[in-house]
Amino acid sequence: MKLCMIGHRGGHDKFVWDGLARMPHVRVVGISAGTPEDDVAALQTHCEALGFTPEVFVDYRQMLDQLQPDVVSVCGPFELHAEMAAEALRRGIHVICEKPVALTLEQLAMLRTVYTAARTKFQGWYAGGLHFAAFMNLRYDPAFYTAWRAVRDGAIGKVRLINTQKSYKLGHREAYYQDRATYGGTIPWVGVHAFDWIYWFSGETFTSVYATHSAQDNQGNGSMEMSALCHVTLSHEVFASASIDFLRPATAPTHGDDRVRVMGTAGAIEVRGGQVYLINATTEGEVELPVACERQLFQDFVEHIEGQTTALLSADDVFAVTEACLLARQSADEGRVITFGG
């Protein structure tokens, strides 16, 4: 299987490298920075470490046409994600894309349309059909995966309420984080994971959102928001919240502090500090569950294409969660409740 890679922004292409180590039949045949301003040195270094000698292109479209890969990884400039992914999909190439896959609702609508048309056009090319996914990697984190499995297996009954937290250290941020046009906002960039947990754990659909965000005290990072809070309503009157920030102290032991608390009709489950804690009628107080996830994001993506499995993350999931983030950002900008489909 031939893989091409576009760009290195965001850093989540590390999941491609991890997956490649498990799949010797997948090889990197081409790399491109995506734009003349970006550098492919990091991609070349990774390729050399794995024994690949890919062709290097300035124009990613030329790469796609000349090499005709089966799969492309898109990690170019955030504002070009939708365009780059669409170019590959139109050629019948499977795409795994850095999140968020679109920075505007218009970009997202275009990408959805292109994917739907391409999936029909290239039906039958691959066992699993034309596949599109994003680097929403926390579905594959052992703690979150373990908690989701427990919820899916009925450990807490029907899900009624979800609280999520994404707290990061600010650290050094490149110039493109300082402008909404090239960053997209903290709700879509960081909050996409929280909205994905809400969607994934609940099994419901988004119906409305009210959000607030603030760029105050962002240490000179332009319009970049440092904090956000979102209240989400889903089908069947399930409620959820997302607390999102870049306020985690530099002295904290880890870069991020990710948490989920899910309340059901028969119990509660929490993920905090990389562990999972459950309380229900069968437990003696709060018990800690052993955490594990045998699946890996990029391997799951490839094996879905090959028809060996059904991936944890579908194109429809990516589109639904991205739309929710973009509408939450709109709600925060406009100071009003946004209704989905309204």
Dump pLDDT digits (tens) for 317-337. Answer: 999 999 999 999 999 999 999
* 279 close to 267: Cβ distance less than 8 angstroms: yes
Positions of CATH 3.40.50.720 in the chain: 2-134
CATH superfamily of 2-134: NAD(P)-binding Rossmann-like Domain (3.40.50.720)
- Check residue 98 and report its DSSP letter: P
* 234 close to 262: Cβ distance less than 8 angstroms: no
SS3 151: helix
| Mean pLDDT value across residues 292-313 | 96
Positions of CATH 3.30.360.10 in the chain: 138-294+312-339
Give dist(CA 130, CA 124) in Å, integer: 9
pLDDT digits (tens, 9 = 90+) for 91-108: 999 999 999 999 999 999
pLDDT of residue 266: 98
* 246 close to 252: Cβ distance less than 8 angstroms: no
pTM: predicted TM-score of the whole model, two decimal places: 0.96
Q: What percent of the chain has pLDDT over 90?
A: 93
Q: Which has the closest alpha carbon to 132: 177, 82, 179, 197?
A: 82
pLDDT of residue 180: 97
Banded pLDDT at 123 (limits 50, 70, 90) = confident
Give dist(CA 32, CA 142) in Å, integer: 32
Give dist(CA 102, CA 190) in Å, integer: 14
Two tokens, residue 180: 């909404």
pLDDT digits (tens, 9 = 90+) for 233-272: 999 999 999 999 999 999 999 999 999 999 999 999 999 9
The architecture that CATH gives domain 138-294+312-339 is 2-Layer Sandwich (3.30)
pLDDT exceeds cutoff 80 at 51: yes
pLDDT of residue 129: 81
| Mean pLDDT value across residues 63-73 | 98
Banded pLDDT at 35 (limits 50, 70, 90) = confident
